[in-house]
Structure 1
Amino acid sequence: MSLQPATQDDLDGDVYVFPRHLARSTTVGDPALVPLRDLGWDLHHDDLGNAYLTAPDGRVRLGYLPEGEDDGLWRINAYRDAFGPPVWGVCFNADAPTEFATAFTTALATAYCDGPDRYLARPVVGSPERDPFLAVDPLIARGWQFDRPSPDTFAVTSPDGLATLEYAVGPLDAKSELDSRSARWHLWSGTNVDRPFWYATASTDTPAALLRAVTESVADPAPLLRWRQATHSYVKGRAQLTPVLPPSLPSPTPLDVQRALAARRPTAVPAASVPRWSTTSRPALPGPRR
């Protein structure tokens, strides 16, 4: 596919969105469910259309909740005891790019196969593998800037100032971490933390490797593919939108030209007046949208 620049008002059809933190959800949850379904996790739905995945040992559960009670579209919890309280919880809201949730579930699938020591690995400051700030490194490497917006919060902000990862210091209420935005980790996009474009949260004991998978996806310089009409007006003037054009037609070879001329000689129309291919030929139309 070729990427061609265009003005905002000229765009229609599929576009690439950059930076990717300005893309919205695809509203299709399947890609993020696949890594766990491939492990044989149990899937069932309720009468409203919400989907639930449960690990075979019952110690990790995922809810995809388009008809949930709030805007938390993805809620993933892990348990040391299948019948006890959650050890950690992660939430992606309804507008969070689906690719970020998919990065998390892909890393979770790998950690689950490695066992509880991985998917229940509590972060440990200074540990080579469990230091929570390993999750910040991919963003720092892409030019995100360190900040201290308040005495109880550390943060890194994207170069365009439109995405922030916050880390709350000090004690937090365990229940509030799981069912509100008052969590240890708060990743959001926008200019107002109280009214973000999208957000994701993770509680204190969420394994650093799982968090890093998300921040690596956020920091990835590759744009995200979206349908132009589904992009939010918020991105106008902020995001770089590049249309997806059909492949260019190949140039004819000399043999192609000779065959075209030979094929037309028996007709009454001079061969040179109706070439088989020209630079003004219309390109093939794109296939039907999925």
Structure 2
Amino acid sequence: MPDTETLDGDVYVSPRHLASTTGTGDLALAPLLGLGWDFQYDEDSNLYVTAPDRRVRLGYLPEGEDDGLWRINAYKDAFGPPVWGVCFNDRVPTEFVTAFTTALATAYEQGPDAYLAQPVSGNDEHDPFLAVVPLLKHGWEIDRPRWGVFAIQAPDGLAGMEFTTGDLDPDAELTTRDARWQLWAGMSIDRPVWYATASTDTPVALLTAVTECVADPAPLPRWREATFSYIKGMAQLTPILPPGPPAPTPLDVQRAVVSRRPAVLPAASVPRWSTTSRPALPGPRR
């Protein structure tokens, strides 16, 4: 579990796919802003982040037209259509978005061959189903078969991931939930509490970074009072105990031993004269 001195919350939420958003985008924006990417706000306080080559763009849209809070697109040509697009809605756990932007920052530093790498079936590095492996390793199971859809579900049945086969509308993939990939949590995919979508050509490494974060069994810290009611009914909330006292250092032990020793009083001194001293006897007269 994280260091309790750096936690932002008073309860742990488990499983983590029920944790919902932290309510702030700072952590997810940090990996890209740390590379010096340009950013600007519009009149509604939406934030737009752009890579130096203008071929990757992120929108953080709390005042957007729908619940798509995070929209990230990549381009071969800065003035052409997007090659791939990813969307996280406004209740996705912020840690999952951070996993994506962290992987994106790494891929961007490696160059276009990394952040524009297209999935290739059967390829050891870019096979799209590599993104599913972290979930399967942590107990997610293949869901009931449906025509044209490969689906897996979390052990509690409250989260899932779907991969749609066949041809899809490229424009719809970028603007709706009708995308190649969809990750969700809630009662069902038709009524998700949060969802994330990724279009056909989204690099597998970026998707895998998200599924690895989702599959991590460690709980996530949240504030109980800010926790959505659906979480309180389905997730396990464990109080975060305050940190205990630090272990004593050798110097602390030495000071404690010294403090328990009896005090040594200084030898009593005899004053030369005081108001309580006996007056000196007079000497003999000459």
* TM-score where L is the length of structure 2: 0.84
**SS at 2:234's partner residue?**
coil
What do the CA deviations read for 1:64-122 (whole angstroms, capped 9, x no partner)? 00010000000000001100000000000000000000000000011111111111101
State the match for 1:88 in structure 2: 84
Q: Which runs of 5+ in 2 are unaligned?
A: 4-8, 264-286
Q: Is the 8 A contact 1:17 1:240 kept in 2?
A: yes
Q: How has the CA–CA distance of structure 1 residues 33 and 258 changed in structure 2, closer, same or farther, with 3 Å as cutoff? A: same
- Please give the alpha-carbon distance, in whole angstroms, between the structure 2 residues aligned to 1:110 and 1:255: 49
The answer to whether the aligner puts 1:123 opposite 2:114 as a matched pair is: no
Q: Which of 35, 40, 45 lines up with 2:41 in the alignment?
A: 45
State the match for 1:224 in structure 2: 220
- Please give the alpha-carbon distance, in whole angstroms, between the structure 2 residues aligned to 1:150 and 1:215: 22
State the match for 1:236 in structure 2: 232
Shift of 1:39: 1.1
State the match for 2:135 in structure 1: 139
Count of residues in correspondence between the two structures:
254
State the match for 2:279 in structure 1: none
Shift of 1:155: 0.6
Shift of 1:236: 2.5
The alignment yields a C-alpha RMSD, in angstroms, of 2.1
Q: Is the 8 A contact 1:176 1:183 kept in 2?
A: yes
State the match for 1:77 in structure 2: 73
Shift of 1:248: 2.5
- Please give the alpha-carbon distance, in whole angstroms, between the structure 2 residues aligned to 1:160 and 1:64: 31
- Please give the alpha-carbon distance, in whole angstroms, between the structure 1 residues aligned to 2:29 and 2:11: 24
State the match for 1:209 in structure 2: 205
* Off by >3 Å, runs of 4+ in structure 1: 249-263
- Please give the alpha-carbon distance, in whole angstroms, between the structure 2 residues aligned to 1:33 and 1:262: 60
The answer to whether the aligner puts 1:58 opposite 2:54 as a matched pair is: yes
State the match for 1:113 in structure 2: 109
Q: Is the 8 A contact 2:120 2:126 kept in 1?
A: yes
Of the two, which has the highest radius of gyration?
A: 2
**SS at 1:31's partner residue?**
helix
Shift of 1:32: 0.8
- Please give the alpha-carbon distance, in whole angstroms, between the structure 2 residues aligned to 1:261 and 1:70: 71
Letter in structure 1 aligned against 2:107:
A
- Please give the alpha-carbon distance, in whole angstroms, between the structure 2 residues aligned to 1:254 and 1:115: 57
User: Percent identity, aligned pairs only?
Assistant: 67
Q: Is the 8 A contact 2:31 2:101 kept in 1?
A: yes
Letter in structure 2 aligned against 1:142:
H
* TM-score where L is the length of structure 1: 0.82
State the match for 2:259 in structure 1: 259
Larger CA deviation: 232-241 vs 55-64? 232-241
- Please give the alpha-carbon distance, in whole angstroms, between the structure 2 residues aligned to 1:60 and 1:251: 48
Q: Is the 8 A contact 1:190 1:198 kept in 2?
A: yes
Q: How has the CA–CA distance of structure 1 residues 256 and 125 changed in structure 2, closer, same or farther, with 3 Å as cutoff? A: same
**SS at 2:187's partner residue?**
coil
Letter in structure 2 aligned against 1:204:
T
Shift of 1:249: 3.8
- Please give the alpha-carbon distance, in whole angstroms, between the structure 2 residues aligned to 1:66 and 1:250: 41
The answer to whether the aligner puts 1:245 opposite 2:241 as a matched pair is: yes
Q: Which of 194, 202, 210 lines up with 1:198 in the alignment?
A: 194
Shift of 1:228: 0.8
